[in-house]
Amino acid sequence: MPWNADVLPVTRPAPVACPVPLLRARDVPQAARLASRGELVSVVRGVYSPTASWRPLLPWKRYLARVHATILVHPGLVLSHESAAAIWGMPVLGDPGVVHALGDPTRTSRLHAGLRLHTTTGARDVVDLGGFAAVAPSDCAVDLARARHVVVGLIAADAALRLDPAASVESLVEQNEQRPSSRGRRIARWPLHRARAEAESTLESASRAIIELLGYEEPELQTEWSGPAVTDRTDFWWPGSGIAGEADGDLKYDGRFGDPVSLLRARRERDHRLRSRGIRSVAHWGWSDLVDPDALDGILRGAGLPRVALPDPYRLATARIALAPRHSVPRLHARAETGV
């Protein structure tokens, strides 16, 4: 346990369970042979999972399983960054591959066998989860805001406000300002000052960031529109322009959530209701439009939304990388990260 960690009772949301069975190699006769035959998958060194259970997992679920497998091999870890986010049910983009934890602050940060140990003198609230621990959601958000792209930082900060009733924008900002590394503080200020619990999904949080980086006005969130029979709610609303925005997601219309034709018909009917209540235009976009910010820019301009500031070309270009799908193979050895 790091010397600068204050262990708290479990007052946060319960940790997310491992999505697949995990098997220690020492408990499975001829585990390597079963893996070579395709019956088992190596999750981390010395830990396997049945291939039939592993194969259907989405990338972020595989990462969650890798975090749990690492805890089996290294009990007593204090999870941080994406690994703490996965345990708390906060958004994780794809499969980051590497498991993150806090290490002894008197030693050098290092990455070995897919486990990165961060050393820092910055204080964290640590929650004991029985056999391992994790930094609290608010500390996790601050860590990510300091060390990742500002879009990723805003996703984490919004999620922390939704999960942790004790967290606030002011507390996140204060935690950041008390941390060492002026570079980390500067990077984190942008997302932490903009955090909002009203953003209800990863897509909405990422949309908020890209919208501002494109130079558009900050929208109002979760506006309700009452009618005689039904009340609708829009994800984004720009009252000065009379434009609403809907972060629909690319998966709503691929057949996984019902008949795509029926879903699109329902969307058209809803848009018609919204226009009858005074909305001039309704813009729709999904995750692929965020990965390509030019696409979202075209959607918003096409809806008639005016730009109020110059775009941020560097952050928009790097957002493409930060938001792109990741199906990572863990790196085994590398230099440590800074700015945590």
- Please give the radius of gyration of the chain, using alpha carbons only, rounded to the nearest integer: 22
Nearest CA to 5 out of 145, 89, 141, 101 is that of: 101
Residue 49 inside a domain? The answer is: no
CATH of the domain at 240: 3.40.960
pTM of the model: 0.89
11 backbone dihedrals φ, ψ, rounded to 5°: -115, 5
Residue 338 inside a domain? The answer is: no
Domain span including residue 250 = 202-323
Residues 15 and 153 in one domain: yes
Tell me, what's the pLDDT at 257?
57
Tell me what the pLDDT averaged over the chain comes to: 89
Element (H, E) at 43: strand 40-44
Nearest CA to 296 out of 208, 176, 222 is that of: 208
Tell me, what's the pLDDT at 26?
94
Tell me, what's the pLDDT at 119?
86
Residue 29 inside a domain? The answer is: no
Q: Which of 199, 218, 240 is the last residue of a domain?
A: 199
Residue 38 inside a domain? The answer is: no
Residues 15 and 162 in one domain: yes
Q: How is residue 311 annotated by DSSP? A: -
Tell me, what's the pLDDT at 334?
41
Residues 69 and 185 in one domain: yes
Residue 36 inside a domain? The answer is: no
- Looking at the chain, the whole-number percentage of residues with pLDDT higher than 70 is 88
Tell me, what's the pLDDT at 1?
44
Residues 133 and 227 in one domain: no
CB atoms within 10 A of CB 182: 9
Residue 143 inside a domain? The answer is: yes
The segments of the chain whose pLDDT lies below 70 read 1-12, 105-109, 249-258, 326-340
Cβ(218)–Cβ(212) under 8 Å?
yes
Residue 81 inside a domain? The answer is: yes
pLDDT in tens, 99-127: 999 987 666 667 888 999 998 777 889 99
Query: Could you give the number of structural domains in the chain?
Result: 2
